[in-house]
Structure 1
Amino acid sequence: MTTAPSAAARAFLDGPHRLLIGGEWVDGQGRTIAVENPAREDALTEVRAASLDQLDQAVSAARSALHGDWSRLGGRDRGVILSRFADLLEARADLIGEVMTLDNGSPLASSKMVVRHLAAELFRYYAGWASKIAGDSFQPSLTARPTLDIMVATVREPIGVVGAIVPWNAPPGMIALKMAPALAAGCTVVLKTAELAPLVGDLFAQIWIDAGGPAGAFNLVHGHGEDIGAAMAAHPLIDKIAFTGSTAVGRKIVDAATGNLKKVSLELGGKSPVIVFPDADLDAVIPAAAMACYLSTGQQCMAGSRLFLHADIHDRVAEGVAAFAKTLTVGDGLDPDTVLGPMISARQKARVLDYIAIARAEGATPLLESDVIDGPGHFIGPALLTDVTPGMRIEQEEVFGPVLSVIRFDDEDAVIEAVNGTPYGLSGSVWTRDIARALRVAKRVDSGQVGVNIHAAMSAETPFGGNRQSGWGREFGRDGLDGYLKTKAISINLGPKP
């Protein structure tokens, strides 16, 4: 089975990789970014980062468009452009998906699904909202001015220039999740791609041009987080930062944003629980619990990396998950048999192996050892650890790899205490046939999303985001649009009350 890039992907890789600023393609003037294929450890291409001056130019272009051509379009016209963008995403899904796989190692089928069933759907969903943004009107109770007839009208306005900073693990979906609602709201966008997987951003920028998007409303810059990302977070002419990534970087963004008190939305780390009670459908639980953790080789914020099993079914489910995990093929994402691709980098692979070693030293028992695959590629097989107890580092900290920790429990109150005992609160799931218990437990789990007999049930309409150190704000759904809007109240004196 060949895993060589297609002719279309090869032509894209061999072509220029530029910045899009004010509707013009320009060569980056910053550091050179060597883009690696993590499945082969060979160079795909090179991308030049933006300089700080070029970032200023991109922000200026976005601010000009905010008060220029983009601002003159009504919601319906913005929606038409976003709908056209969605159509072009679908038409080019094979190429975009393949570039994502080459860039970050994801299995090709999963990459194409991210384009078609996440990115395109998000653009269509928010295209529909663009013409439906409306305020309200009411008569206030002005007790200090009882003789006046006052009417208040509220107006929903775009928050301004948005700096969107996206991660490497699912670029098409992450870009869409920032870009679509921001543009639907009437904002303008400066997108910074992840330096480990920057290439999909180029394809989105070209689609923006082909969809007829006005110059400057969407701008693309490449760069490292410590320079271009940091400069965006501190930039006085950016009105909001929308960031997905690690909690540690999220804290730095918050600190930098205080200069002009820009708005910030953060989707950060997770340590999501999968809680299984004895009456659950265990035949359904076993593959679902495995894939809740191992999907995307564990390199996803929603990963169900803590499996809480009631003592009555602990051994059966743990052994079942381990057996299922053994059937998952690890390999190059271009191979159609691959289920788990590589780690994004040698550094991330070493980090995961370090966490496994720490867990063993703290008393965890490997029920499934993680295979370290020889040869090129940052490959690591799935691992399953039992005898994990609350407070162990493997139970507390985000690993971002295919490592599942199994925690035994006997009591509902005790398991809720353990579930909520990490700094994170992003996702989770409860597995039981008892609907009263399902709802009771789901309400007590302190996270932004909880599934009942399903994990990470995401849709364009369903709000998603974190509590505590898993982030600020919500994405997806109406909540995701609201994060890019501000409300103005206009009070009108109609004269004396009749």
Structure 2
Amino acid sequence: MTVQDSPARTAVLPDVVARGRLFIGGDWRGASGGGTTEVLNPATGRPAAAVAAGTTADVDAAVAAAREAFDDGRWSGLSGRERSRVLARASQLIRDRAAELALVESTDVGKPITFATVVDVATAADQYEYVAALAQQLDGPVRETPLPAHAFTRRVPLGVVAAITPFNFPLVLSSTKIAAALAAGNTVVHKPATDTPLSALLLAEVLTRAGVPPGVFNVVPGAGATLGDRLVSHPDVNKVAFTGSTEIGAHVAALAGRGLRPVTAELGGNAANILFADADLEKAVGTIISAFVFNTGQFCMAGPRLLVERPVYETVLGILKGAVPGVPVGSPADPATVVGPLASRRQLEKVSAMVDAARAAGGEVVTGGAPLELDGGYYYRPTVIAGLGSDAEAVQEEIFGPVLTVQPFDTEEEAVALANGTPYGLAAGVQTSSISRAHRVSAALDAGIVWVNSWALLDPAVPFGGVKAPGWGREYGPEALESYTRTKSTLIGLG
């Protein structure tokens, strides 16, 4: 493993982030209870900022502001073209402030600064740009009917959307929901992850400068369980958009269901990457490594399970043993860093415990397998584990760290059965030179998105989402925007 020598830099955060206040009804304010939450820099374990700790009273105030803003039409009453102009400005402002946003994201999550810039910030800007175009196309067809009437449909916004996001991609996953909800004409109350709320505050400033009216977008950081439960069950919330763990997602869906509120839930993942013997091994192994170390493995669409056709199994293990230790691990501030720290001490402890359990279950640690002491941060060595059975915890459950399990297979049918043999079905990969095999296997995989001879190619135009434990609904594409609207039919009598 290559360890970067540069120390984690002390970030000078933008003023709106450093102040750490709630954003409700267009105003920055402290929490009603006066409390704050310390946000730690994962690269050092030291405080990076103090953010107002919202209360249920603050959630109520944010929902009331969003409800008023929706009902009076200051945003929902605009034409799609008018909303489009605002969202296009937001996209450009995100690009203009890329350095600030990347610094905030890197400080908050421990994300390597290079990735934060070229992946996270660029993706967020693309999201607003894409939905800005879709906002102008929210119309419905005229329907032919034998009735004595002219019948047509419209797509209309739902109302107040609760957007609840996790710690691993704060800017991207917030924007995924917020951009689509706003494009459709809804108002939003955003509850960011407790550990990583900083980019949500800067995003509030960006959207305000772009022209989003007061009350249309609100941010309430704070304790996840308390605020999330209140937000999801609030009678004035019309839709819940959630990304997080499967366990919490089930809880959110149950709460929302009591009020018959629609839910989009993008939950956990444990994707299999299938490597056939006819693949270009050099290219495939590079893809495999990227798939499990990207974002320090904290990626619901990571590829933590590698299935290798038996004739090349030992060869692939040897290549991984030689290549993985060379992945640059170190300070997120170093542009050369590929793997930074995990987002929290809690996540570091979880990953460590799961690797220890895999070792105890008979797994062979090919490389890695231990934390890395560096600057007091939450680092874990990129790890490859072989020799585990399909019922092992590390194979069945989401590790959410830079850990890869490797299993052999003999037939195409066995590979598909192994890949589909967990509760998860968010993503999958196929590495092969056979176009017919690529079509057969990708069709048989029980996953919402399949990458062939690639990994994690994502674009706002292409929908993704899971089956089974990863939840339901789709993000990205026109499908996402449709989930933030309802169909309204009108019949005008001709008699």
Q: What do residues 235-270 of structure 1 show as CA deviations (whole Å, max 9, x unaligned)?
A: 111011101110011011011112311110011000
How far apart, in 2, do the equivalents of 1:322 and 1:235 lie? 51
Let me know the Cα RMSD of the aligned residues. 1.4
Of 96, 99, 104, which residue of structure 1 is paired with 2:104?
99
Matched residue type, 2:115: S
What is the alpha-carbon distance in structure 1 between the residues aligned to residue 286 and residue 16 of structure 2?
37
Find the partner of 1:140 among 138, 145, 154. Answer: 145
Q: Give the Cα–Cα distance (whole angstroms) in 1 for the partners of residues 120 and 366 of structure 2.
A: 35
Write the letter of the residue equivalent to 1:91: D
How far the C-alpha of 1:2 sits from its partner, in A, is 5.2
SS of 2:89's equivalent in the other structure is helix
Question: Matches of 2:450 and 2:209 in 1, distance apart?
Answer: 39
Shift of 1:115: 4.0
Distance change in 2, residues 1:228/1:6 (3 Å): closer
Q: How far did 1:374 drift?
A: 2.2
Distance 2:443 2:28 in 1: 49
1:210-221 aligned within 5 A: 210-221=209-220
- Percent identity over the alignment? 37
**Alignment counterpart, residue 36 of structure 2, candidates 28, 32, 36:** 32
How many Å apart are 1:11 and its aligned residue? 5.2
Cα shift readout 1:295-350 (whole Å, capped 9, x = no counterpart): 11111101100000000111111221232211112212012222111111112111
Q: Aligned letter for 2:47?
A: A
Which residue of the partner structure matches residue 243 of structure 1?
242
3-state SS of paired residue (1:222): coil
CA distance in 2 between partners of 1:10 and 1:228 (Å) = 26
Query: Residue 493 of structure 1 corresponds to which residue in structure 2?
Result: 493
5 Å-filtered alignment, 1:184-263, equals 184-263=183-262
Give 1:10 deviation, angstroms.
6.7
1:286 pairs with 2:285? yes
Which deviates the most, 418-427 or 326-335?
A: 326-335
**Residue type of the partner of 2:91?**
A
Tell me, in whole angstroms, the C-alpha distance in 2 between the residues paired with 1:10 and 1:466.
36
The 3 A distance-change label for structure 1 pair 2 and 401 is closer
* Letter of the 1:476 counterpart: Y
Q: Report if aligned partners of 1:139, 1:150 keep a CA contact under 8 Å in 2.
A: no
- Which residue does 2:47 correspond to in 1? 43
CA contact (8 A) 1:93 1:115 kept: no
Deviation per CA, 1:65-104, whole angstroms, max 9, x where unpaired? 1122112211111000001101110111101101111111
User: Greater CA deviation, 261-270 or 20-29?
Assistant: 20-29
1:452 corresponds in structure 2 to: 452
Cα deviation per residue 1:370-393 (whole Å; 9 max; x = unaligned)?
242225111111110111221111
Give a deviation string over 1:343-379, Cα, whole Å, max 9, x none.
1111211111111111122221111132422251111
The answer to whether 1:384 aligns with 2:384 is yes
Q: CA deviation at 1:285?
A: 0.4
The whole-number CA distance in structure 2 between the counterparts of 1:352 and 1:36 is 19
Deviation for aligned residue 1:434: 0.8
What residue ranges of structure 2 are gaps of 5+ in the alignment? 1-5
Give the structure 2 partner of residue 23 of structure 1. Answer: 26
Q: Is the 8 A contact 1:29 1:48 kept in 2?
A: no
Q: Match for 2:63: what amino acid? A: V
- Note if 1:268 corresponds to 2:271: no
C-alpha contact 1:289 1:321 (8 A) present in aligned 2? no
- Does the Cα contact within 8 Å between 1:236 and 1:259 map onto a contact in 2? no
1:62 aligns with 2:42: no
Q: Deviations over 1:204-254 (max 9, x none)?
A: 011111111111111111111110011111111101110111001101101
Q: Which residue type is aligned with residue 460 of structure 1?
A: P
Alignment map for 1:356-375 (pairs within 5 Å): 356-375=355-374
Q: Kindly indicate whether the alpha-carbon contact (under 8 Å) linking 2:352 and 2:370 is maintained by their aligned counterparts in 1.
A: no
Partner of 2:329: helix, strand, or coil?
A: coil
Give yes or no for contact 1:189–1:219 (8 Å, CA) kept in 2: yes
C-alpha distance in 1 between matches for 2:323 and 2:189: 43
Q: How does 1:426-445 map to 2 (within 5 A)?
A: 426-445=426-445
Match of 2:116 in 1: 111
Displacement of 1:38 in angstroms is: 0.8
Counterpart of 1:87 in structure 2: which amino acid? Q
> TM-score by structure 2 length?
0.96
**Gaps (5+ residues) in structure 1?**
142-147
Matched residues, number: 487
Distance 2:348 2:96 in 1: 34
